[in-house]
Structure 1
Amino acid sequence: MEASIAYRSRPASKSQFGFHTIPNLVELEEWERNRLIEIGPLAISILKKSMAIVANAVKSPRTGMDWLVKIIFGSIPPNQRNLAYDLTCAAEECLPLHFFRADVLGNGQIAELQCPGSGWGYTFALEEHYGIEPSQVIEAIRRFTKGRKASWWLHDLNHEPSVRHLEHACNKNGIDLKVYNAAEFDPDSVELMIKRPPLPELIATEKGQQLLRRWMNGKVELDLLPTMVPETKYLMCLLYHPQTMGYFTDEERQLAPPTYFITSADQILKPKEGYREQSIENIFLHYRKGFIVKYGGAKKELRGGCHAVYNLGAKSMKFAARKTLLKRALADHESGESWILQRFIDTQRKIVWDKQGTERMRYPMFRVEYYVSENGNPSIVQTTATFRSDWKVHARSDARLGLCK
């Protein structure tokens, strides 16, 4: 890899990746490796059940689940919500996806699921960096396309260098993948979409609406399916909400830390076993350690890059900032979207930090990229890891990234 593939907006380093790397592959412990394998089918089951829950809420508005419909579709333009409802119901019986990503914390629980998950171009570049051949990313795309022409609608030009690099490698390896920007994309000329814009942006454009109608008519295959369910961060909340938690098994519920919709200041939660119940307001303003707050919707300016993810226990989160954040979360809930509160997992891991062999304790985030075969069985494509000195999920300048084995 000769040219830079760095994210164009504020890269974390001046390297060709745009981020710092660790010197060697991360050697996973046996329990970690087994856990990542276990997560695959559990995640698929959660996705399927969640899609059914939301589709049923759309089809049966008198079941007392109208609050969920309001939140799930809060990022969709109001004049396009009927189309979004139809798409969700049409997607209910479909296999959820071919590609998805689980963001796994140091204790083996997941912070969130992303479908298909960003960063596939960067993962391929890391494979090159560590000399991994053949590329598992390329082989997964080959299994998906099966010799067909595949299209990628590039919606974030900041990712273009890494996506173009992946496109070139696919073409070089006999995979007919073409990346289009919005001006180039023709919705009537594609039959297989390997990546599309998020649904709120897609459904708001004429080209996007054409593509979605073609999908409903069975003329194009989309990965991922055109439903809002996996495009928000609300999935983990369904595991713990009293109206939806009964749909999931104990094993599925334990996949994620306790995660809740933030609905009101006097909403009561139990911070930890052995502790007395606390209101949301009290957690924000006083009992703040041990919680992460993040925007759960799909608005472009908030959903990516951890622009709206906060550690309430961080020293930088002063009282005034927490009070403002609570006010913002409650206002957004009233307007149709929700923020979520998730238990902070305070687990660090020893990692070889530099070429000198320096070992340091860091917070890990394992991004496990899965491929789902036609029979519904998931397999791990690659696992990238991010290590930081303080908890955060994005590759800031104090982070190191690498691949696991």
Structure 2
Amino acid sequence: MKITIVAGARPNFIKIAPIIKAIEKKQAEGARISYRLVHTGQHYDKNLSDTFFEELNIPKPNANLEVKSGSQSIQTAAIMVAFEQELLQNPCDLVLVVGDVNSTMACAIVAKKLNIKVTHVEAGIRSSDMTMPEEINRIVTDSITDYFFTTSTWAGENLLKYGADSSNIHFVGNVMIDTLYQNLDRISAPFFWNEFNLETKNYIILTLHRPSNVDEEQSLIQLLQGIDKMVGDKKVIFPIHPRTKSILGETDLNLKNILFVEPQGYLNFMFLIKNSFAVITDSGGISEETTVLGIPCFTMRNNTERPETETIGTNTLVGTSIDNLNKMFRDFLQNGPRKAGIPELWDGNASERIIDILLSKK
């Protein structure tokens, strides 16, 4: 079996690392399986791309399509044109895509039109928010996928509602958590740990990147100033996305507690998460990692495609209002973290389950 694995953006790199490791384990056992790794170049900043390959021991991609940035349409079209040539020159039995970025949808469409089977890892998750580009990517990808691998039974139920064949839906767990478990003994403090006098549980991690939170300068400034006042004597470490940084420009925000740092590599970032007091984010994936690490997480969105992080895990959905975040955070300070657990099959073995199932379908 020849598999082409697609990676395009930071979350993709974290998800493909254990899948590649599982394939290489099967190869060592004598299984007839091989892979070709294609990096679309959707994320091309070194801190958002190359660093993750190096830290997670992901082999150098066989091909880098180098599409870089652009509007949704321009980027998707560029990926499709380049990936079509890649597949024509390097035929395979199966294209494996992960997550919900533009590369996921674009490469799935190209593969399907070339009559190549498509596997979607992290299939079936839904936010029911069609203003999110990721939601469109998920729906389109799942509509043409052959083999679905899900992180929860809820995701499988979503796929059944869309008419997917139940025999091709496989609840395997969460490959992002595979990567977390495989690297917990390798995480390390960033260079600024001592410079900022950071200690375990004495700081909060903040990440913001969604348009609803960062695209309008004044509302972003008000949000940051509100968080700065809310946290009391806790420092807030804010690895600022290049796009968010450009929106703020040289504005003097007069912040006392929020410390801006560059985007972090995986090992440093997981160290910061694991040792934090709490996390404030608008990311979906981070709420999965905080759930496994037992760190309280406040997600600044009106919806989540990962409800298990709320119902079972440590995540609290707070919307995009600083007033609502304030209320939820005060409740947390007064009452402590609520009881939480780890979702079913988030045990570090999802990738091996995926490869075993694919080999059974030859």
Structure having the higher strand fraction is 1
Q: Which has the higher contact order (CA 8 A, sep 6+)?
A: 1
How high is the TM-score relative to the length of structure 2? 0.26
Structure having the higher helix fraction is 2
